[in-house]
Amino acid sequence: MRKARRGPPLRGLSYEDNSEGDLTLTSRKSQKVAAAISGFIRFDAPGTYTVNVFSNDGIVASIGGKQIALYDEIHACEPAGEQDVIVPSAGWYAVEATYFQRKGTACLAMDWNVGGRMGPVPDSAFAHID
């Protein structure tokens, strides 16, 4: 096993399904990529938000300590399933994820409901600390 290398920070979670051979996330590789992701997501108002994480291949992810995605097998870019996140007050909430891509194409994205419609979480809603 080769030593893991830390890559550049992600710009958010909007890495749409790519073509075979394209680079995965911010890695210099297209296949056999893993990422330990930690940062924050901003919710502008309290309430219940429905989120859905798309991955290719595997993902386990949480917001504020609540698991929002678990998809631990090789698959095409597919949703892990909608989950509700209760946001008691506006602000930043911790995001943690472990992602892997084995072969073929890759994707990692998150949708949420804003204004009653599901849509991509904008990159500006995410932040990280170096």
* Amino acid 2: pLDDT: 66
Give the separation between CA 41 and CA 112, rounded to whole angstroms.
11
Q: What is the mean pLDDT of the chain?
A: 92
What is the per-residue pLDDT across 8-62, written as a single tens digit (0 to 9) for each? 888 899 998 899 999 999 998 899 999 999 999 999 999 999 999 999 989 999 9
- 33-127, CATH topology level: Toxin - Anthrax Protective Antigen; domain 1 (3.90.182)
* Amino acid 74: pLDDT: 84
φ, ψ for residue 90, nearest 5 deg: -60, 150
Residues of the chain with pLDDT > 70, as a percent, come to 98
pLDDT band (50, 70, 90) for residue 92: very high
pLDDT band (50, 70, 90) for residue 114: confident
**Alpha carbon 20 to its chain's center:** 20
Residues of the chain with pLDDT > 90, as a percent, come to 71
Domain map (residue ranges) of the chain = 33-127
Single-letter amino acid, residue 59: I
Over residues 83-109, the mean pLDDT reads 95
- What pTM does this model have? 0.89
Q: How many C-beta atoms lie closer than 10 Å to residue 13's C-beta?
A: 27
